[in-house]
Structure 1
Amino acid sequence: MRLGQISSIHFVSNLFASVLGFVATVYIARILGAEPLGTYHLSLGLVSWLSIVGTMGFSEAISKRISEGEEQGAYAVAGVSIVAGFFVIVAIFLVVAREYVNAYVGFSVTGFLILILLAVLGFSVVSNILRGLSLVHIYGILMPIKVGARSFLQILLIIAGFSVTGLFIGHAAGIILVVVVGSYVVLRNLPTLTRPKRRHFKNLIEFAKYSWLGDIRGRMFNYMDVIILGFFVSQALIGIYSVAWSVSQFLAIFSGSITNTLFPEMSRLSSEEDPSAVSGLVETSLTYGGLFLIPGLFGGTLLGERILRLYGPEFPQGATVLVILIIANLIQGYQQQLLSTLSGIDRPDLTFRVNGAFVVANLLLNVGLVYLYGWVGAAVATAISAGISYVLSYLYVRSIIDFSFPSAEIAYQVGASIIMGCVVYGGIRFGEEFMLLQNNTILVTIIIIVGASTYFVSLTILSAEFRKTIARNLPLGSLGSF
């Protein structure tokens, strides 16, 4: 299967999963309000940070070593053993510190944290093994199962009167279901499961000693702002901020699909030939890294308040935060491709430096800007720190690989987004002027569909490369690479 088609399967699966999550979150927000959502997302932020200790960079190390194609079963067993040991340590810590953890969250949450942490670590290991086996499309297909099961159980439990408790139970159950299904797929595709030797652990440690900071970087990008906000603002504002973040992340799905699809290919080419062999893949990843995020920025600026209104009357106040977070994810989309390139060509030392710069900048900026400007400061801190790490990543990749930055293709995407923005703005004014649609949900849905269609038609007309990519990756298209 061509790389473009794998990316498409992964993207469509994740898109479907995100739509399910979006609908469920809208329903939950309308039933429970912003404050319970704040408690829930603050708890997930804690789990995210605890999972760093639970993996210590070994999840990415597992993916890297398995992608090299040698002794895959031994590396899988070694990785699972290490992560299981770390989980026990973290679980004991949570039990000992449960009084302080519950006080910080404002809810008796320790038992749920341990259960969700177990599920998250299991999912991290399984998904990275699938990634290493170049089964990214299978992982993508599992995502709707996870989100669908989680959303269904959460809504069912809320209806039954479980409130926040239902959110935690449903979240853990959805992940556990995917871990079970994913483990079956892994066992079917690994050649054999063999007892690891000392060198297998050593090789994992060699990569993990650099990649653990990447785990911290990922958690900081996703949750540091929420953790810091927990000390300064109300749970309700955290709930609104988290909803704005989830909307901005929705636009980053395709960028993540490209990263997950190209990483094992980069790793294979680099190990078989040399780092310069991946230059074409680097250019491809940058060409399409902002395919959805660029128009998303225009759309979020024009429709942000109306989109957030779908969640309830208290959520539109996060419109400014939403735009800033989309900018942060746009920068992150390009940076993600470059950082994945460094990992793929086995330069974890350079990813360590990039991640170190991000961690320091993100921590200092979040503390300072949240203290001064509240939740807007948190969003700005995330965007600035992403920008710093992007510049470093670009310089490091350029120093190793000779590639051309796809400025023309990105310009076409911006041009198509401007055309889309004009259509969206006209649609909003037309609908408001003639009061044709009083229902905000219907109006937003129609404008998004029209706007997205306008963008892709415009991009297809403007970009010959985009037309070629579509032709190569259609089911009946000619054979070729993405």
Structure 2
Amino acid sequence: MSGEDLGDALKGVLEGAIIVLFGTIVGRGAGLLTEVWVVRLFSQSEYGLFRLSILVTTLIASIATLGFVTAIPRQLGVERGEGTTNQVRQTIGAAFIVSSTASLFLAVLLYRFASQVAVMFDTPALAGLLRTLAVALPVVVLLDLIVAVSRGLGNSRPKLYFRTLVPKFGFLAGVAVVNVLEYPFETIVIAWVGSHVLAVAASVVYARTTFEHQPSWPSVTISRDLVRFSFPLLAVYIINSIGSWIDTFVVGYHGSATVVGLYSATVLLTRLIPMVLGSVSFMYVPIASKFHGRNDQETVSMIYTTMTKWITGLTLPIFLTFILFPGDILSAVFGPEFRNGATVMQLLAIGFMTHTLLGTNGQSLIMLGRRRFLALSQSASVSMNLALSFALVPLIGIEGAAIGSAVAYTITNVITSMYLYHVAGLHPFSWNYVIPVGITIAIFSGIGVLVSPTTPLSLGTLFLFAMAIGLAHASVYIVTRSVNEGELEMVRAVSSSLGLPVGPVVRILKWASKP
């Protein structure tokens, strides 16, 4: 492993992560504003109905992708590394043809059986929304595939443009129109569909004019091999989708649309915690797969450990703020009636942070081709979540669903990381990772225990508190001399690429990397 190779690899992950993270932050901001607007524009029960319809449609869309969203980036990364241009084009063509056929078939089924699905949730009004969303099902699948192909080709911009900015701001504009013209609640779903149609139209034009490799008609062998490789990942993708929302489905099964609205709003906000992890994971698989294909495990390990440190450092401010002041955050964002979701936020935050602390463990197993274990572990996670949620929700309400999710998420990620260490020796833990994180958590947990505000905190105050956590963690990181070789090489590579004068920064990092 050369320092240049490591620096270039980390720079590739970082550049892609920055683009995705920027889009995620902006998109989440627009999405959060839109969700708050919908919550305040309509009733809590109507908001719950809207979220439930989107969840059902998203789950069916995940089935229609046939696992290609996860498999394509890895497959294209390997094929590009081997220089097989014709195979790359056929793989792209196979993905589009097979998944488009599946999405059209499932869209017809969703439209036909919408009433039966609504009966499952004892919510007749859900049927009309699902029929409208059935029209958007092939659109959502095509959009996901274009983003997956771009990811495999090393281009993270389509995710920023067409999976985040266009649909989020398009939906925001649609909600504004609904508000100004005082349209009924059902038009919110039409606005959501319209925003995704606009996004897929723009993404098709972008793909046709800018993609390095255009799809070609695939051979039967390539199509079969792609489906065979993707099938276990389809199970993983579906299970992940189910696992992400199974608690909400159970809440909807046992409770009213109003309760679903409260729980969904809390989950929506708490999902900011894995935001950085998801952004880094987007480019991690294709780049790490190249080095894995060269049998350069030292570089893969350094990428994994370095990225995990940065992911955790950037996520800590969000996590600690959510843990210490959950009621104030929910009240400030959604209104005082949502303060009841405080305990749910704390429980979910712990579960999400566990994954962050362990890094891109699942993505690393995909890189290694360990698809079957990943499918089994995710199946166990969903089963555990489902069993705990069904057992606890009738007893203690929405907190039971949060406990089920947090416990299942934590146990699954610990087992996944243990298996990853067993098969590849990959883990993120070292003293220069554990010590700064431990010190930061201890300091601000103590502050949270000692300081008990008598009045609700504003969003501005909460933001300043989160910034203070970030600055404190960076300071602890430097003072404890916890910088590693990978971080130095990444800073050098990025500064060289951008032409930035970062000499003082490099000198500080060099000092902080000394034993």
TM-score by length of 1: 0.89
Task: Give runs of aligned pairs for residues 187-266 of structure 1, distance below 5 A.
Answer: 187=208, 188-266=210-288
Determine the C-alpha separation between the residues in 2 that align with 1:307 and 1:144: 25
Moved more, 75-84 or 65-74: 65-74
One of 275, 296, 318 as aligned partner of 1:296? 318
Corresponding residue of 1:386: 409
Supply the distance in 1 between the matched residues of 2:387 and 2:17 (Cα, whole angstroms).
36
The AA in structure 2 aligned to 1:263 is V
Which letter does structure 2 place at the counterpart of 1:60?
T
Deviations 1:100-140 (A, max 9, x none): 23443442212222133233212221121111112124423
**Structure 2 Cα separation of the partners of residues 134 and 271 of structure 1:** 16
Q: For residues 284 and 199 of structure 1, do their structure 2 counterparts lie closer, same or farther at Cα, with a shift above 3 Å needed? A: farther
Q: What residue in structure 2 maps to residue 161 of structure 1?
A: 182
How far off is 1:288 after superposition? 3.2
**1:77 match:** 93
Alignment of 1:78-117 (within 5 A): 78-103=94-119, 104=121, 105-107=123-125, 108-117=128-137
Instruction: Please list the CA deviations of residues 383-406 of structure 1 after superposition, one character each: whole Å capped at 9, or x if unmatched.
Output: 111122212211221122223532
- Equivalence for 2:148: 128
2:361 to 335, 338, 358: 338
Q: Within the alignment, does 1:20 sit opposite 2:30 as a pair?
A: yes
* Amino acid corresponding to residue 97 of structure 2 in structure 1: S
Q: Does 1:270 align with 2:286?
A: no
Counterpart position of 1:414 = 438
Q: Deviations over 1:49-83 (max 9, x none)?
A: 21232123232222222222232221111111111
User: Does the C-alpha gap of structure 1 residues 359 and 198 become closer, same or farther in structure 2, counting only changes over 3 Å?
Assistant: same
Which segment drifts farther, 3-12 or 441-450?
441-450
1:423 CA displacement: 6.1
Unaligned runs of at least 5 residues, structure 2: 1-10, 507-515
How far apart are residue 156 of structure 1 and its match?
2.2
- How far is the alpha carbon of 1:350 from its aligned partner? 2.4
Residue in 1 aligned with 2:306?
Answer: 284
The one-letter amino acid paired with 2:458 is N
**Structure 1 counterpart of 2:324, one-letter code:** L
Partners in 2 of 1:192 and 1:81 — Cα distance? 13
Given candidates 483, 487, 493, the residue that maps to 1:465 is 483
The amino acid that maps onto 1:132 is G
Q: 1:452, CA displacement in angstroms?
A: 4.2
Name stretches of at least 5 consecutive residues in structure 1 with no aligned partner.
none
Partner SS, residue 109 of structure 1:
helix
* Partner in structure 2 of residue 353 of structure 1: 376
CA contact (8 A) 1:295 1:414 kept: no
2:12 matched to which residue of 1? 2
Aligned 8 A contact 1:255 1:289 in 2: yes
105-114 vs 276-285, greater mean Cα deviation: 276-285
Cα distance in 2, alignment partners of residues 138 and 178 from structure 1:
10
Residue 312 of structure 2: SS of its match in structure 1? Answer: coil
Partner Cα separation in structure 1 for residue 305 and residue 478 of structure 2: 19
Letter in structure 2 aligned against 1:295: P
SS at 2:360's partner residue?
helix
Q: Is the 8 A contact 2:291 2:299 kept in 1?
A: yes
Instruction: Tell which deviates more after alignment, 112-121 or 235-244.
Output: 112-121
Residue 292 of structure 1: CA displacement? 3.7
Which is worse superposed, 56-65 or 70-79?
Answer: 56-65
Aligned mates of 1:372, 1:179 — CA distance in 2: 44
Verify the 8 A CA contact 2:331 2:338 in the aligned structure 1. Answer: yes
Q: Deviations over 1:399-431 (max 9, x none)?
A: 2222353243143123224444566778864xx
* 2:328–2:457 CA contact under 8 A, matched in 1: no
CA gap 1:426/1:148 in 2 versus in 1, 3 angstroms: farther
Q: Distance in 2 between the 1:192 and 1:333 partners?
A: 35
1:4 Cα offset (Å): 1.9
What amino acid maps onto 1:150 in structure 2?
Answer: F
3-state DSSP class of the match of 1:315? helix
Higher alpha-carbon deviation: 454-463 or 116-125:
454-463
Alignment of 1:307-456 (within 5 A): 307-310=329-332, 311-334=334-357, 337-408=360-431, 409-420=433-444, 429=453, 432=454, 440-456=458-474
User: Aligned equivalents of 2:356 and 2:347: distance in 1?
Assistant: 14
Given residue 247 of structure 2, which amino acid in structure 1 is its aligned partner? D
Identify the residue that residue 38 of structure 1 maps to in structure 2: 48
Q: What is the DSSP-based 3-state SS (H/G/I as helix, E as strand, rest coil) of the residue aligned with 1:164?
A: coil
Q: Distance in 1 between matches of 2:105 and 2:391?
A: 32
- Greater alpha carbon shift after TM alignment, 465-474 vs 223-232: 465-474
Q: CA deviation at 1:318?
A: 0.2
Name the count of aligned residue pairs: 474
Q: Aligned-residue CA RMSD in angstroms?
A: 2.8
Moved more, 58-67 or 13-22: 58-67
Identity within the alignment, %: 17
* Structure 1 position 243, deviation (Å): 1.2
Query: Are the structure 2 counterparts of residues 381 and 125 from structure 1 closer, same or farther at C-alpha, using a change threshold of 3 Å?
Result: same
Contact 2:392 2:400 in 1 (8 A): yes
Q: Is the 8 A contact 1:419 1:455 kept in 2?
A: no
SS of residue matched to 2:271? helix
Q: Which moved more, 1:29-38 or 1:225-234?
A: 29-38
Describe the superposition over 1:148-181 as per-residue Cα deviations: whole angstroms up to 9, x where unpaired.
2222212322332234323312222223333233
The 1-side partners of 2:232 and 2:62 are apart by 13
* Distance in 1 between residues matched to 2:13 and 2:400, nearest whole Å: 39
Contact 2:48–2:260 (Cα < 8 Å) also in 1:
yes
Amino acid aligned to 2:435: A
Q: Which moved more, 1:330-339 or 1:237-246?
A: 330-339
The yes-or-no answer on 1:49 pairing with 2:59 is: yes
Structure 1 counterpart of 2:168: 147
Residue type matched to 1:151 in 2?
L
Secondary structure of 1:281 counterpart: helix
